[in-house]
Chains A and B, each alone.
Chain A
């Protein structure tokens, strides 16, 4: 494969919790040692249940957060510790599509000023901005006379397309799609997904597609990573992962995908996990999944399994 666009090396993102001014604060380990590479023009799906750190990984990559540890390398440049000003040239090339189309657009700004904002902040001349805004609006299938309206006048799908137009304004190389379809109707989901695929074909962008919709991830992704409690537990090419999943958590997750055929569904056995997700605050040592794993061995409770390559391109973090 080519040179990776972004290399993520054992990324850690801890958040302080509790209000104790004296003594040491507790830490919530939202992401704890996640590594993967993103290649140009690919779609990398990131799946896992709520609270496993998918969104945090996405936000850390575009440096909305300053990672606690690990490295983020963008085209060979380490951007992990750059401050707000220094990271800006890179951030123009990295954009984000947000989960909630009702919260991601400023209700006091018109559509045209929302889409124009990234360009206005980068001192693009006004004439170029106007032309580009018109072009973008057409690209995402909105009308020119929508430009002077406010976000509350649009439907969820239209708002999400306004969000996409804003993300595309600076012609990014890398877009984090943070559950872009989870707040939309199913019919609108397909429309937005198709649009994202078309735009990728035209502009050659790399997507990090964060979602818990496993079927949609299978449809759109080239490679998929499975996260559990702040750790990457399995990573493979999409067909390899969906047909030859190795990690017990991946198996349980995949068995929860609804099957459209009732006869087939009756034959399949769903793996129901026992117990709850452990707290990411001061997690126990060993494999994060140990407390709920059917195949748990003594070693699982003592040592964290390393990520190893079990077949070319298929990585697994499990002692089995």
Chain B
């Protein structure tokens, strides 16, 4: 197996340190790349999506504003300024005042409190119920899964306006009952996503290894299945928030959600309809608030989807 390429003189002329005989094994197991976690990578990808970052910034600013401004503002959502009724935007009232002289800006901020609270609380409740229900259904499979999914099918075939109106009638028109009404069936989407993810993951070898290690159903769900299904779960939850906010605005617009004198973006828009031709700013600002929020949440959702599953990126 000897290969003669150089004659002996030429070989002797070569410097000795040109060759290392064998391989240096002491660094064979080293990993030069700094250790990163999955969430760190996700954040790196999310950061590169400009629209999503803008959306996130807008939502953070809006959240801070709706918390702080009502605390420091001279106006309250139901206090009237009888000197300035139906006034246009001015330095004193940045978004003008309504028919009763109430400051429109502070009412929009109160509306933002309601909208954002409903959005986040509804998403959190949906997340909890959806993950638990979908996770159990997917993991247990078989007959249990069949029964659980048929229950979901029945729930999702109920006409939503019917039970929403019923819930409002029974519990009164307040934020709690709006959240209850919105959460009644919207967790089904999350549950279906979780179920399909779990059904797919439960046959993977690390779950088998977990079973061999003596893990019970609970441990497998919490430790192995749900963390690995987290990407799609987060994306579906992120898109639930704007959905819930929009539904609340819709209900209040129809007059079955948040009631006067309290303000919600939907009820502000509703109140502006009769006077829209004379005082368009009363309609304009709540609608802008709804639009900006919708866009921001949807951009965040898109950004999260791309960051959590880079393969989906177009």
Task: Provide the bound-state CA to CA distance between A106 and B215, in Å.
Answer: 14
B211:A64 contact, CB within 8 angstroms: yes
Tell me if B9 is interfacial: C-beta within 8 Å of chain A: no
Q: Which residues of A contact B219 (CB under 8 A)?
A: 121
Interface size class of A (residues with CB under 8 A): 35 or more
Task: Provide the bound-state CA to CA distance between A88 and B214, in Å.
Answer: 6
B205:A149 contact, CB within 8 angstroms: no
A146:B205 contact, CB within 8 angstroms: no
Select from chain B the residue with minimum beta-carbon distance to A106.
Answer: B206
Per-position 1/0 for B20-56, Cβ under 8 A of A: 0000000001110101111000000000000000000
B206:A149 contact, CB within 8 angstroms: no
Task: Provide the bound-state CA to CA distance between A149 and B29, in Å.
Answer: 13
A121:B214 contact, CB within 8 angstroms: yes
Tell me, rounded to whole Å, the shortest Cβ–Cβ distance linking B70 to chain A: 41
Tell me if B261 is interfacial: C-beta within 8 Å of chain A: no
B35:A118 contact, CB within 8 angstroms: no
Tell me if B208 is interfacial: C-beta within 8 Å of chain A: yes
A104:B205 contact, CB within 8 angstroms: yes
Tell me if A289 is interfacial: C-beta within 8 Å of chain B: no
Q: Which residues of A contact B29 (CB under 8 A)?
A: 141-143, 146, 158
Task: Provide the bound-state CA to CA distance between A117 and B220, in Å.
Answer: 11
Tell me if B227 is interfacial: C-beta within 8 Å of chain A: yes
Task: Provide the bound-state CA to CA distance between A122 and B216, in Å.
Answer: 12
Given contacts A96-B208, A98-B208, A103-B205, contact A108 B213 (CB under 8 A): no
Q: Which residues of B contact A100 (CB under 8 A)?
A: 205
Best-surrounded residue of B37, B204, B209 (most CB of chain A within 10 A): B209
Tell me if B88 is interfacial: C-beta within 8 Å of chain A: no
Interface size class of B (residues with CB under 8 A): 20 to 34
Best-surrounded residue of B204, B219, B227 (most CB of chain A within 10 A): B204
A64:B208 contact, CB within 8 angstroms: yes
Per-position 1/0 for A97-124, Cβ under 8 A of B: 0111001111111000000011001100
A92:B214 contact, CB within 8 angstroms: yes
Q: Which of A94, A121, A146 contacts B31 (CB 8 A)?
A: A146
Select from chain A the residue with minimum beta-carbon distance to B224.
Answer: A106
A153:B38 contact, CB within 8 angstroms: no
A166:B38 contact, CB within 8 angstroms: no
Tell me if A39 is interfacial: C-beta within 8 Å of chain B: no
Best-surrounded residue of B33, B214, B230 (most CB of chain A within 10 A): B214
Tell me if A95 is interfacial: C-beta within 8 Å of chain B: yes
Task: Provide the bound-state CA to CA distance between A91 and B216, in Å.
Answer: 13
Tell me if A36 is interfacial: C-beta within 8 Å of chain B: no
Tell me, rounded to whole Å, the shortest Cβ–Cβ distance linking B39 to chain A: 9
Q: Which residues of B contact A154 (CB under 8 A)?
A: 31
Tell me if B151 is interfacial: C-beta within 8 Å of chain A: no
Task: Provide the bound-state CA to CA distance between A154 and B38, in Å.
Answer: 14
Q: Which of A95, A103, A121 contacts B206 (CB 8 A)?
A: A103
Tell me if A177 is interfacial: C-beta within 8 Å of chain B: no
Per-position 1/0 for A128-169, Cβ under 8 A of B: 000000000000011100101110011000100001001000
A118:B38 contact, CB within 8 angstroms: no
Tell me if A253 is interfacial: C-beta within 8 Å of chain B: no
Q: Which residues of B contact A317 (CB under 8 A)?
A: none
Per-position 1/0 for A59-103, Cβ under 8 A of B: 100101000000000000000000010001001101110111001
Given contacts A108-B227, A108-B228, A121-B214, contact A153 B31 (CB under 8 A): yes
Select from chain A the residue with minimum beta-carbon distance to B219.
Answer: A121
Tell me if B212 is interfacial: C-beta within 8 Å of chain A: yes
A108:B208 contact, CB within 8 angstroms: no
Per-position 1/0 for B243-262, Cβ under 8 A of A: 00000000000000000000
Q: Which of B31, B37, B209, B211 contacts A98 (CB 8 A)?
A: B209
B224:A91 contact, CB within 8 angstroms: no
Task: Provide the bound-state CA to CA distance between A81 and B123, in Å.
Answer: 44
Task: Provide the bound-state CA to CA distance between A74 and B208, in Å.
Answer: 20
B212:A107 contact, CB within 8 angstroms: no
A62:B35 contact, CB within 8 angstroms: no
A96:B31 contact, CB within 8 angstroms: no
Task: Provide the bound-state CA to CA distance between A35 and B29, in Å.
Answer: 42
Select from chain A the residue with minimum beta-carbon distance to B35.
Answer: A149
Task: Provide the bound-state CA to CA distance between A108 and B223, in Å.
Answer: 9
From 28 to 72 in chain A, residues with beta carbon under 8 angstroms from any chain B beta carbon are 59, 62, 64
Tell me if B210 is interfacial: C-beta within 8 Å of chain A: yes
Q: Which residues of A contact B206 (CB under 8 A)?
A: 103-106
Q: Which residues of A contact B212 (CB under 8 A)?
A: 62, 64, 91, 94-96, 118
For the complex of A and B, the 9 pairs showing the least CB-CB separation, nearest first, are A118-B213, A104-B205, A98-B205, A108-B227, A106-B206, A121-B214, A103-B205, A149-B35, A88-B214
13 A–B contact pairs at CB < 8 A? A64-B208, A106-B223, A106-B224, A108-B38, A108-B227, A108-B228, A109-B223, A118-B212, A118-B213, A121-B214, A121-B215, A121-B219, A153-B33
Given contacts A98-B208, A99-B205, A109-B223, 16 further A-B contacts (CB under 8 A): A59-B208, A64-B208, A64-B212, A91-B214, A98-B205, A98-B209, A103-B206, A104-B205, A104-B208, A105-B206, A117-B215, A118-B212, A118-B214, A150-B35, A150-B38, A154-B31
